[in-house]
A = this chain, B = another copy of it.
Amino acid sequence: MESAAEQKTVRTTAELVALVEALIFVADEPLTAKLLSEVLDDDRERVLAAVEELQREYESRESGLQIREIAGGWQLATRTEFHEEIRTFLKTRPSAKLSIASLETLAVIAYKQPVTVPEILEIRGVQSASAIKTLLDKRLIVAKGRKETVGRPMQYGTSKDFLIQFGLKDLSELPSIEDFEDLVQ
């Protein structure tokens, strides 16, 4: 208790403002004054003043960010004016990112190509239609002609873009089960 009291007096306003900023930044939801004062072991009034000071700072320097009051707490967010540019940016993010369902489907196609939708269903045990559409949209897979069997289903294989995105020269560079066994023996 003694040391906590000491700490309170030692911390300058500037330090408190900086700390509040760092905590709001790392938090995964809006931070309340109550939680801030608990964590920092500092007076609620001083914490409130620090948040206000921080808000003024962000406003006065015309930052691209703002300290926004929401759901009884504060969070760091982009300024609304920039929504368009941010949306453009979010669209350009590398498309190697995939949902687990798409990734599973891609794995089956990569190792079993050429492979049909019913065959993928059999291996994964779930419908993969939307995953296949995503993969086609992202150009990670391509149609590889029809299989000469009942219903002549379309076969799929990986594309050149797939090789580029996963840094492979050709399909023989895909790690094999043997490569993996070497690692877990």
A residues in contact (CB < 8 Å) with B = 14, 17-23, 25-27, 35, 38-40, 57, 61-65, 76, 78-79, 82, 85-86, 88-90, 92, 117, 129-130, 132-133, 136, 142-146, 152, 154, 167-169, 172-173, 175, 179, 182-185
Q: What is the distance, in angstroms, from A145's C-beta to the closest C-beta of chain B? A: 5
- Asked whether, in the complex, the Cβ of B62 is within 8 Å of the Cβ of A23, the reply is no
- Chain B residue numbers with a CB within 8 Å of A23 are 64, 85-86, 89
| Copies of the protein in its oligomer | 2
CA distance A78 to B143 in the complex (A): 37
- Chain B residue numbers with a CB within 8 Å of A168 are 145
Knowing A26-B86, A143-B175, say if A21 contacts B64 (CB, 8 Å): yes
- Chain B residue numbers with a CB within 8 Å of A184 are 129-130, 133
Contact sample, A vs B, 5 pairs, CB 8 Å cutoff: A19-B85, A39-B88, A39-B92, A133-B183, A142-B167
- Chain B residue numbers with a CB within 8 Å of A35 are 92
Most B-side CB within 10 Å, residue of A18, A79, A129, A184: A18
- Chain B residue numbers with a CB within 8 Å of A17 are 64
- Asked whether, in the complex, the Cβ of A62 is within 8 Å of the Cβ of B14, the reply is yes
- Chain B residue numbers with a CB within 8 Å of A144 are 167
- Asked whether, in the complex, the Cβ of B78 is within 8 Å of the Cβ of A25, the reply is yes
CA distance A169 to B88 in the complex (A): 26
Q: Is the interface of A mostly helix, strand, loop or mixed?
A: helix
- Asked whether, in the complex, the Cβ of B129 is within 8 Å of the Cβ of A185, the reply is yes
CA distance A152 to B146 in the complex (A): 33
- Asked whether, in the complex, the Cβ of A78 is within 8 Å of the Cβ of B26, the reply is yes
Q: Among B25, B86, B92, point to the contact of A22 (Cβ < 8 A).
A: B86
Residue of B at shortest CB range from A40?
B85
- Asked whether, in the complex, the Cβ of B154 is within 8 Å of the Cβ of A18, the reply is no
